Amino acid sequence: MEILAFGVQADEKPLIEEAFAGHHEVRCLDVLLNEDTAPIAAGHEIVSSSVNAELGGRVLEILAAGGTRMVAQRSTGFNNIDLDAAERLGMTVARVSYYSPYAVAEFAWTLAMAVNRRIVRASIRTRDFDFRLDGLMGRDLHGRTAGVLGTGKIGEAFARIAHGFGMRLLGWDIAENPACMQLGMTYVPKEELLAESDLITLHVPLMPQTQHLIDAAALKSMKDDAILVNSSRGGLIDTAALVAELREGRFTGVGLDVYEAEAGLFFLDKSLEAVDDDTLARLVTFPNVLVTSHQAYYTRDAVGQIVETTVKNVLDYRAGRRSENVLVPRS
């Protein structure tokens, strides 16, 4: 059987082909799965989709009409999939519930350090043989406070690194993580974490309760010189409110690997088109902001694990086995 994999990056393709070898044929497409591209899947019982696929009800209906019975999503988050529609259409949807949390946690740290120590500006300057230090001053993080919103697998990995830096740790979550407490983390109300932290990092999933977790009021309650990092999901931050605060000259730095309107932009080359997203266009003009396009998970290790689990999900589906990765059917 041939599996059709959408949204495959060039350096991901050999890993996918290798993992499926000996099991199933796989055809890799670089286009993202959405309403325009879904008809390509006609005749494929199993499709695999990437994190920025648009799997709303209409797309799932097109897939189902073309004979698709299973969607193997190559990510942990599934906020892009209409699970009710998939259930109604009798489809199976599986995700990758676990892979290296270190990939994302290490990238969150990369963003934090890059904005704190002005690495992008320094690199641009030295390429131009401009070796001045003006405007490159950062801050020691040792002895300062890191606030971790969401202390699950990635939040814990982030906290371990913060501990290594000698930072005081504050946490906020609906469930306390004993491993974080062993590192010395104190769980506090969100308001207290936002007001006291020098570095704030987001690791909760995006769901109705966490949509715009960082809204205008939350941003106003942060220290003027705080560092804010989001490597979870764009919808956690009210981006328009963030731009308003940045216009006031606030924050040492903001590192964003995700953006609430990233679908249709991230993973694509838009360099030759007119920019029609004024919020993102303004965001990238701030010298203290660094935006990357959802690449935190993108290490050889994490992608390797994602692909292996995707193959396992396909084999489980074919064998009628249920695993913790199955989202639909729900029981």
Ligand X SMILES: NC(=O)c1ccc[n+]([C@@H]2O[C@H](COP(=O)([O-])OP(=O)(O)OC[C@H]3O[C@@H](n4cnc5c(N)ncnc54)[C@H](O)[C@@H]3O)[C@@H](O)[C@H]2O)c1
Residues at the interface with ligand X (CB under 6 A): 76-77, 101, 104, 150-155, 173-175, 203-206, 209-210, 231-233, 257-258, 294, 296-297
**126: which 2 tokens?**
């030295």
What minimum distance in Å lies between the beta carbon of 274 and ligand X? 27
**Which of the residues 54, 245, 260, 262 is marked catalytic?**
262
What minimum distance in Å lies between the beta carbon of 328 and ligand X? 18
d(CA 243, CA 233): 17
What minimum distance in Å lies between the beta carbon of 256 and ligand X? 10
Radius of gyration, CA atoms only, the chain = 21
Residue with smaller CB distance to ligand X, 154 or 328 = 154
Dihedrals φ, ψ of 28, to 5°? -100, 130
Dihedrals φ, ψ of 151, to 5°? -110, 45
What minimum distance in Å lies between the beta carbon of 237 and ligand X? 13
Residue with smaller CB distance to ligand X, 175 or 272 = 175
What minimum distance in Å lies between the beta carbon of 209 and ligand X? 4
Question: How many other CB atoms sit within 10 Å of the CB of residue 251?
Answer: 22
What minimum distance in Å lies between the beta carbon of 206 and ligand X? 6
**216: which 2 tokens?**
């205008």
**Which of the residues 233, 245, 250, 260 is marked catalytic?**
233
Residue with smaller CB distance to ligand X, 118 or 233 = 233
Helix axes 101-116, 119-127, angle to 10 degrees: 60
Dihedrals φ, ψ of 222, to 5°? -80, 160
**305: which 2 tokens?**
């694990």
**223: which 2 tokens?**
């220290």
Residue with smaller CB distance to ligand X, 118 or 203 = 203
Q: What angle do CA 169, 173, 175 make, to 5 degrees?
A: 110
Residue with smaller CB distance to ligand X, 2 or 176 = 176
Query: Residue 326's closest CA among 317, 192, 209?
Result: 317
Residue type, 248: E
d(CA 39, CA 66): 7
The residue nearest ligand X at its CB is: 152
Q: Based on the residue annotation, tell me whether 262 is a catalytic residue of this protein.
A: yes
Residue with smaller CB distance to ligand X, 104 or 167 = 104
Q: Based on the residue annotation, tell me whether 233 is a catalytic residue of this protein.
A: yes
Question: How many other CB atoms sit within 10 Å of the CB of residue 324?
Answer: 8
Annotated catalytic residues are: 233, 262, 294
